[in-house]
Amino acid sequence: MRNRLLCCVIICLLKADFKNAIVTQFPRHRIIGTGKEFILHCSQNMNHVAMFWYRQDPGFGLKLVYYSPGPGSIEKGDVSEGYHVFRNNMTHFPLTLKSASTNQTSVYLCASSSATAPHTHILSAQKKVQTTEEKAALKILHRK
């Protein structure tokens, strides 16, 4: 039974056409000196309306830097200070570090989406676990 299930999963994945959906980000790796300007390039070939830049600091979850609901439109994320973006077409969304600093040492990720709403930047792994007392207090508040 397990082999049959595994076979079905593999077949389903093989049928999905991921080879045509590409988000490209470059350069892949870069070490730069503080105070220097640096540009990270991002492009996508899916004609997705929305594009996003995230950063992931060591030991933490993703934080939204900037997003674009469409060409010519830019929205700030949670950590947009020290960065600049522009988007004048559907496929490209470069991120500029204006003056690189040590607090910008991070993994940067670009994404695109056919939806225009920004993706949630509070992941379940980042959410605070509620104590029994907090859960009880919330139940009391909901009853009122």
The whole model's pTM is what? Answer: 0.66
pLDDT of residue 31: 85
- Do residues 134 and 141 make contact, with C-beta atoms less than 8 angstroms apart? no
Range of the domain at 93: 23-136
pLDDT of residue 77: 95
The structure tokens 């590409």 sit at: 22
73-77, long-range: CB < 8 A, 24+ apart:
75/118, 77/53, 77/118, 77/121
Q: Is residue 9 part of a domain?
A: no
Q: Is residue 36 part of a domain?
A: yes
Q: Is residue 59 part of a domain?
A: yes
Domain count, the chain: 1
Beta strands in 1-144 (DSSP E): 23-26, 38-44, 50-56, 62-70, 73-76, 83-85, 95-97, 107-113
| pLDDT, tens digit, 9 for 90 and up, residues 33-82 | 899 999 999 999 998 999 999 999 988 999 999 999 999 999 999 999 99
Q: Is residue 37 part of a domain?
A: yes
Q: Is residue 143 part of a domain?
A: no
**Mean pLDDT along residues 107-133:** 62
Q: Is residue 34 part of a domain?
A: yes
CATH code for the domain of 54: 2.60.40.10
